[in-house]
Amino acid sequence: MSISSRDSKDTQALSCPARQPDFLLSQRQAERAVGHVLWLSAIAMLTEIVAGHLTGSMALLADGWHMATHVAAMGISAFAYIYMRRHAGQAHYSFGPGKVSYLAAYSSSLLLAGVALAMLCEAALRLRAPQDIHYDEALAVALLGLIVNLLSAWLLHGHDHDHAHQGDAHGHTHAHADQNLRAAYLHVVADALTSVAAIVALIAGKWAGMAWLDPVMAALGGVLIL
């Protein structure tokens, strides 16, 4: 199904009086879910970036950088939902405000690619000039980051599942076209994978003396994101 056909369905949902209340309610619920994830991610991001610098863990620092783009992506997603809610049903938006959702998803993807390249460059520098790592502290923060990511994924995936059922029940497919929500979910999943990579690297460095694995995992995380 093309993007234009999805947008026409969103526009139909907004222009149909019987469908508009349910459509706007679903968008408001998605907006709240993204807002909750935004605050959770912002706290975890600051913790990981500060801890990454203090402990010397490149993998943890890379995870924090990735979560920074995650926070930016959540902010873009939240803006898209607010924009769609405020302009829904306005006659001069005949193209459908749902296009903002696709633009937000595209912007999120570009941010993610940019930070992945930065991770690769920094990992290469750390391989050439290793630094001491405080493993215990770094592991504790990495585990916290993973918990936040799993909780965020549960919040977003649970809403996306309910959103899809609402779309089926009303005979239209605007739920399936919410690429903005799915992009936010993919950001969280990718961030969870980098958290797992950081934990593996820190465990291997602490108990097997494989300190080189810390920047290697950071680089692999960058490749995975790309």
Q: What is the pLDDT of residues 35-72, one digit of tens each?
A: 888 899 899 999 999 999 899 998 898 888 878 877 88
Domain ranges for the chain, please list them.
Answer: 3-225
Res 177: pLDDT: 40
- CA distance between the termini of the chain: 25
Res 158: pLDDT: 65
| More confident position, 59 or 6 | 59
Res 204: pLDDT: 95
DSSP 97: T
What the block records as the tokens of 24 is: 């706007």
Q: What is the pLDDT of residues 105-145, one digit of tens each?
A: 677 778 778 878 888 888 888 888 888 899 999 999 999 99
From residue 98, alpha-carbon distances to 147, 161, 175 in Å are: 32, 19, 11
Res 179: pLDDT: 72
Res 15: pLDDT: 45
Nearest to residue 6, comparing CAs of 105, 91, 92? 105
Classify domain 3-225 by CATH number: 1.20.1510
What the block records as the tokens of 182 is: 């799915």
Nearest to residue 68, comparing CAs of 84, 48, 51? 48
Longest dimension (CA), the chain: 65
Res 134: pLDDT: 94
3-state secondary structure of 15: helix
With a pLDDT cut of 90, the percent of the chain lying above it is: 24
From residue 97, alpha-carbon distances to 31, 171, 226 in Å are: 15, 20, 29
* 184 close to 77: Cβ distance less than 8 angstroms: yes
Q: What is the pLDDT of residues 64-105, one digit of tens each?
A: 887 887 788 788 777 777 777 676 555 555 555 556 666 766
CA distance 132 to 115: 24
Res 101: pLDDT: 60
CA distance 143 to 160: 26
Res 90: pLDDT: 56
CA distance 200 to 182: 27
